[in-house]
Amino acid sequence: MNDSQTARAGSAARRVLAVVFVAAVLAGVVLVGRQLSAPITAPSVVGMTVSEAEATLAEAGIHITTDPSYADAMVVAQQPIAGDPWTESDGFVLTYTSTSGAQHIRDIGAED
């Protein structure tokens, strides 16, 4: 192998190492990002009024928007159920009673 071929082989090896290094760094960033968005344990809000449930969920880091006209309606079901893990990519559904029957509030994601 002459000097020119040796230099090209060394240059190619450095490029391969650089690509492997960048891939490893990107993989680390993805793993850290997943750890930063760890699941929140869903609190129990069944039996609360919609306004109480909204406040309890907000304290846990789950922010939903409700219709103020249903603030005093009672929550009769929730998904995920209390104690289950919840992440920002999951939906959160409340079912509550009102004078017009069962209604649903669905929120996709938490606010930061």
Q: What region does 42 belong to: left with phi over 0, alpha with psi -120 to 50, or beta? A: beta
Q: Which two tokens stand for residue 6?
A: 């040796």
What is the per-residue pLDDT across 21-78, written as a single tens digit (0 to 9) for each?
A: 555 555 555 444 444 568 899 999 999 999 999 999 999 999 888 888 888 889 999 9
Q: Which two tokens stand for residue 20?
A: 């492997």
What is the pTM for the complete model shown? Answer: 0.59
DSSP 8-state code for residue 63: -
Q: Is the peptide bond before 80 cis (omega within 30 degrees of 0)?
A: yes
Check pLDDT > 70 for residue 9. Answer: no
Neighbours of 59 (CB within 10 A): 9
